[in-house]
Amino acid sequence: MVQQFKAIIIKNVYPELDSSRYPVKREVGDLFEVGADIFKEGHDVLSALLKYRRKQDDDWHETPMEFVDNDRWCGSFILQENTRYVYTIEAFTNVFESWLLNLVIKSQAGADISSELLDGQRIIGEAAERAVGDDRKTLEATLHQLKRGADQKRTVVILTAEWLPQLMTKHADRRDATVYDREPEVVVDRQEARFAAWYEMFHRSQGKVPGRSATFADCEQRLPEIKAMGFDVVYLPPIHPVGRNQRKGRNNTLEAGPNDPGSPWAIGNELGGHKAVNPELGTLEDFEHLVQAVKDLGMEVALDFAIQCSADHPYIKEHPDWFYNRPNGSMRYAENPPKKYQDIYPLNFYCENREVLWQELKSIVLFWIERGVRIFRVDNPHTKPFHFWEWLIQEIQQSYPDVIFLSEAFTRPKVLKFLAKVGFTQSYTYFTWRNFKEELTEYMTELTQSEVSEYLRGNLFTNTPDILPPILQRGGRPAFKMRLVLAATLSSVYGIYNGFELCENTAIPGTEEYLNSEKYEYKVWDWDRPGNIKDYIGTVNRIRNENPALHLYKNLRFYRADDENVLFYGKMTPDKANIVLVMVNLDPFQTHESIIHMPLEDMEINPEEKYIVDELITGATYLWTGEIQRVSLDPQVETAMILRISRWAYKDYDTPCF
């Protein structure tokens, strides 16, 4: 018995992750392009369709794919909704165009095509029977005209009119159609998933009274200043009651003083757990008021989702089976070697009642969604099962597709990437520890130009409550400005932790930990203290907002600068209407001069053509010509240049002026 098979081959579909096991990511309004190799034996003409639908729908939409070259086809459609789409490809032999190609060849050779015309009448007649409405009438009229007879040249003109092959393809016989055997998915997030500036606000340090926690009302007082710096997201550490047992003291000491507040990541006490608010900050109603105040200023609140409990959390008594016990009967606290967290206890996701546990954790996210939160920064997701995150994120986004999850996974590269594959909207990256030209170029090229960019959006944080990198400790104010520009322009989404704007860089010697960290004590900051870079941050964020090229993530390209300390890169919109180039001195201590090689070909500028260069930080304007330019970057003056390129506009002097 002859085995059934499909004659048309569809392979190398892109984008597609792990044979469609995981979805790719895009944003609302994107043009989603799909490519594939499509071919069959012989010389028949093929047609291909890109088929797509919302995941919750049954009916497919179709759009034609175009032949590119070497059996490569490409199609596209606009992603109009914040939801999940499914797509696939269908290809079939285009009987009409295959016949028409043979007819034209024979006609041009002067051969008799009367027999071929009879075949054509049959093919058009069958298509007319499949068509309805005006399409059917048009095809029947064409068939009638052919049957009346005309000279061969006139007949070929009728058959090769542009509208006829299009209409025939629309109603083609698809009996030999091959449909790609998988249905990949694309998660379509709102645009804020790709473009946003995050400000991590340590809530209890926003007040003015030493030794006392700030409140949500105090946080509201700081919002106009954060908005003025140009931020879009106000991210809060855990807002829940803090455990009392084994509470950490100042600088992470094991014994807390009577007035030490403990780490907010040690969640839960007799006043409640993950669905409660620390009364020092205020009430649940106060929190909701803060959320609304943030929205009124055009920003959003992001909330920390830390799945861990203090020894006083209600879960400890209510569900002791959700935790790990040592052989001696004591409960196992959390560790992330070499760090130990004696004040928190991890949950056992594989416990006997794990379904109840998982549903309870889902209910926590839903609880805060109902109070206006749509962004969650997830603490240490790499210490929880991947299947849990895949399940949770899909469950939440099925009802709330606008929810964004940021993965705080400073872990092994493959684990970090896999968490993005299973569903996290954004990811922390290793940018915090990438300082030099070669490593920045290599790493950011991987993030934005390889397959990784199909599923991982890198949120570049300059610092965190846990990480004060050496470059900031040693490089002073120039290093803060340099790292800000890098984070804000290498990626379209980035963040800072409060104190960065003050150039706070006092560390525990030999560590990346802040000395006298607000993780373990109440602090009062002077947000206007000398040496701050608030205005500089505001300028950089304004530049980001005003230049559409910086809103995009995958358009980063690196260019040649001859000095190893000068990083030169740029972003352009697809139509080249907005071109932004950035030069950064990576050495916060010394001035560096460098020859830079302007990417004239990428900018579509001729070598002899003059072009305008607006330096957006200082407001200076230059008129340049050619590829080779020289720049000097003094970190004590300006450590970076952000250039917007435009063509020189000549005045029309032929028009008389009176």
Fold agreement between 197-551 and 557-647: no
What is the topology classification, in CATH, of domain 9-188? Answer: Immunoglobulin-like (2.60.40)
CB atoms within 10 A of CB 73: 24
Distance, CA of 395 to CA of 597 (rounded, Å): 49
Reduced to 3 states (helix: H, G, I; strand: E, B; else coil), residue 117 is helix
- Beta-sheet pairing, 46-54 with 592-597: unpaired
For residue 42, pLDDT over 80 is answered with yes
* Domain range list for the chain: 9-188, 197-551, 557-647
CATH topology of domain 197-551: TIM Barrel (3.20.20)
Distance of alpha carbon 26 from alpha carbon 152, whole angstroms: 51
pLDDT > 60? residue 20: yes
Alpha helices by DSSP H, listed for 160-213, are 163-170
pLDDT of residue 590: 98
Say how far apart CA 16 and CA 28 lie, in whole Å.
Answer: 19
**Confidence (pTM):** 0.94
Q: What is the mean pLDDT of residues 353-357?
A: 97
Omega before residue 607 within 30° of 0, cis: no
For the domain spanning 557-647, the CATH number is: 2.60.40.1180
In the residue annotation, 634 being an active-site residue is answered as: no
- Give me the pLDDT at residue 655, please: 40
Q: Per residue in 371-384, pLDDT tens? A: 999 999 999 999 99
Whether 503 contacts 483, CB under 8 Å? no
Is residue 269 within 8 A of residue 364, CB to CB? The reply is: no
pLDDT of residue 111: 86
Mean pLDDT, rounded, for 170-199: 96
What's the pLDDT at 649? 63
Farthest CA pair distance, the chain:
104
Percent of the chain scoring above 70 in pLDDT: 97
Q: What gap in Å lies between CA 406 and CA 377, rounded to an integer?
A: 5
Q: What is the mean pLDDT of residues 438-444?
A: 98
- 67 C-beta neighbours (distance < 10 Å), count: 14
Burial of 210 (0-12, 13-18, 19+ CB in 10 A): exposed
Average pLDDT rounded to a whole number, residues 537-551: 98
Average pLDDT estimate for 532-551: 98
Per-residue confidence at 654, pLDDT binned at 50, 70, 90?
very low
The residues facing 32 across adjacent strands are 77
Both tokens assigned to 356:
């109840």
Q: How confident is the model at residue 150 (pLDDT cuts 50, 70, 90)?
A: low
User: How high is the pLDDT of residue 650?
Assistant: 46
Residue 142: per-residue pLDDT: 87
Which neighbouring-strand residues pair with 62? 51
Q: Which pLDDT value is given to residue 656? A: 39
Confirm whether 135 is a catalytic residue. Answer: no
**Catalytic choice (44, 90, 360, 379):** 379
Among 189, 200, 408, 521, the active-site one is: 408
Instruction: Quote the percentage of the chain above a pLDDT of 90.
Output: 86
Of residues 118 and 586, more confidently modeled: 586
pLDDT in tens, 292-336: 999 999 999 999 999 999 999 999 999 999 999 888 777 788 877
> Average model confidence (pLDDT) for the chain?
94
Q: Out of 86-90, 141-145, 250-254, which region has the weakest mean confidence (pLDDT)?
A: 141-145
The phi and psi torsions of 259 (rounded to 5 degrees) equal -110, 5
Whether the predicted pLDDT of 545 surpasses 90? yes
Alpha-carbon gap, residue 570 to 601, rounded angstroms? 13
